Amino acid sequence: MDKFSDMAMFVSIVKHHGLAAAGRELGLSPATMTARLQALEERYGVKLLNRSTRHVSLTDSGELYYKACLEILDNVSEAENLIQNGVKEVKGSLKIAAPKDIGKQYILPILSEFCHQYPDVIPYLYLNDNLSNIAESGMDIVIRYGELVDSSLISRRLSPSRRVLCASPEYLAKYGTPIKPQDLVDHACLAMLRSNEELKTWHFQDHDMKKAVTVVPKRFSDDGEVIRYWALQGEGIALKSILDVQDDINNQRLVTLLNGYMKNFNTAMSVSSADLNVVYISKKYQPKRIRLFLDFLFENFGGLVEKSDQSDQSDKENTEDKPDKEESLTR
C-alpha cells in the first residue's frame, strides 16, 4: 500500500482507539489492519502504538507521526478543494471540548457564530469536565482550567480566573454567612466529583497562612453547571470559577463569601492555577479552520476578561499581592 493510505489508516486507528473499529470504517479485516500496522512500524524501525487487548496508545514516535499525518492529510484535502472549487475553502470537522458550564455559557454562542460565517465547518462540541488525556482525545481544541503538564501541546490563556465561594442570598438569610473557612463544616456545601473523586477538601490561603477544610457536602455532581444550579436554588455553598458565576454575582443571584482568601480544590495557590486556557497541537499542524476558529475565539472572548476584572474589588485587592509559593497543579 502507498504511504498516503497508511497515513489515513493510522489516523483512523488513533481516532477510533483501536484496530477493529478503524478496520470497520475502512472496510478492512482485523488481520489486514494488524499486518499493515506491523509493516508500517517495520518500515520506519520504530514502534508507533502501545497495544493491549482493549486499548491502544501513542508512543512518542507515534505521536510525531500522527501529527504529521494530520497535517499532510489536511493539506491534501485543501489542495483538492482548491482544484475543484478554485478557492481555498474552510470546511471539515472542528472538535472542541470544554467544561460544561463554560461550554454552554460562552463557547456555544461563539462556535455558533463562527459556523454561521463558515457553514461548511461541522462542529463537534464535547462538554466534559474530566478530560484527562488531551493528546489522545481526538480533540482539535480543548478548553480547560489550570496549567498544562504535557509540553508537546500548546497552551494559551483565554481568560484569567480564580475560585470563589458563593451562595444565594436566600441560603445566607436562612443559614447565616460563614466568617472563616472552618465555619463551612456547619454549612451545606455542594461538591464536585472528578474521576470518581469527591472534591470535598477545600484549600484556603490568607497571606502566608494556609488552611485545608474538609466540608460535609449535602450534594455531589460531576457537572459544574449542576453545582451552579443548586447554588442558585439556595441548596448550599459552592466553590466555583469566577467565570462560571460572574453574571450571577453581577445580578445578585449569588453572593461571594470569604473574599479575603485565595481558594482552590488543591494546594495550588498561584495566580494562574485557576485560569482558563486553550490547548491545541502545534500551529505547524493546524488546518485552516482551526487557525481561524482560534483567532475568532480569542477575539470574541476578550470581553469576558474585562467582565471578570469588574468582580468584587475587595476580593481582588486581597489576592493580587499574595505570594506565589507553590507550583501550579491542575484545575
DSSP state for residue 107 in the 8-state scheme = I
Position 68 scores a pLDDT of 87
Position 260 scores a pLDDT of 81
Position 131 scores a pLDDT of 63
Residue 108 CA to residue 98 CA, distance in Å, equals 10
Give me the tens of pLDDT residue by residue for the chain, a chain 331 residues long: 588 899 999 999 998 888 988 999 899 998 999 999 999 999 999 999 988 767 788 998 998 899 889 888 887 877 776 666 554 578 889 999 998 888 988 999 999 999 999 999 999 999 976 666 666 677 889 998 876 665 667 888 898 888 899 999 999 999 999 999 999 999 999 999 887 789 999 989 887 788 899 999 999 998 888 999 999 999 999 999 888 898 899 999 999 999 888 877 766 545 556 788 998 876 665 778 888 999 999 998 876 545 544 544 444 444 444 333 332 323 3
Residue 51 near residue 61, CB atoms below 8 Å: no
Instruction: Give the SS3 label for residue 220.
Output: strand
Does the pTM of the predicted model rise above 0.95? no
Cell match 488552611: residue?
A: 211
Let me know how long the chain is.
Answer: 331
Quick one: which of 182, 148, 172 has its CA closest to 277?
148
Query: Which residue segments constitute the domains of the chain, with CATH numbers given?
Result: 3-84 (1.10.10.10), 90-159+275-308 (3.40.190.10), 163-272+311-320 (3.40.190.10)
Residue 134 CA to residue 148 CA, distance in Å, equals 10
